[in-house]
Amino acid sequence: MFSRIRWNLPSRAFWRWLSHITFQALGAIFAAFTLRLFFLNRPVMLADLGSTELAIGVTPIYGVFLEAIGTFLFCLAALVAAFYVRQPGRQAALVGGTLFLLILLLGHLTGASFNPARSIGPALSSGHWSNIIVHLVGRWERYLPQYRSGCYASKTRSDANPTFP
């Protein structure tokens, strides 16, 4: 009787996705507090321990738009490098060059961190929370496709192999 009950538990892809986000956030928080430890006795710092801010005149909606476009382009470069470029050196050059150009183009407007964890860690350690929502919302589209594609891949594996749980 109980062998027929199918429990609705999260898939492996969900736990992979959740652990990816959790460990990125913990790493960023650890790094930011390490910076605070080393630079605690310094006079007022201009960068607030790496906190990302919007430039004067950039509205939060425009900031979300810029961060979303920048994150999309960065992820697109990583996907192109992974699937179409064979040499590791050229893959690194493509991804690094794209990040370099995006930072040059968007860095003075939004801070261009392109990673929510990169924004959470410095904001938490410095206490500088202005417009943090822009840096979180503008980049969540990066994580949703990873979760969806991981769920799809695990679903197709379980359909192909009936003994797979």
Q: Which of 123, 104, 109 is nearest to 57 (CA)?
A: 109
Domains for the chain: give ranges and CATH numbers.
Answer: 59-157 (1.20.1080.10)
Say how many Å lie between the first and final Cα of the chain, rounded. Answer: 18
Calpha distance 113→105 (Å, rounded):
12
| Burial class of 147 by CB neighbour count within 10 A (0 to 12, 13 to 18, 19+) | middle
pLDDT at 92 over 60: yes
Q: How do residues 117-160 score in pLDDT, each as one tens digit?
A: 778 888 888 777 777 777 777 555 555 555 444 444 444 444 44
Which contacts of 150-154 are long-range, i.e. CB under 8 A and separated by 24 or more positions? Answer: 150/11, 150/12, 150/13, 150/14, 150/16, 150/17, 151/11, 151/13, 151/14, 153/13, 154/11, 154/12, 154/13
Are 68 and 114 in contact, with CB atoms under 8 Å apart?
Answer: no
Give me the percent of the chain exceeding a pLDDT of 70: 71
Please indicate, yes or no, whether the overall pTM of this predicted structure exceeds 0.75.
no
Instruction: Choose between 9 and 112: higher pLDDT.
Output: 112
- List pLDDT tens digits, range 27-55: 988 988 888 887 766 665 555 667 788 88
Determine the average pLDDT of the residues in 87-111: 92
**Given this model, what pLDDT does residue 84 score?**
94
Cα-flanking dihedrals φ and ψ of residue 131, to 5°?
A: 60, 30
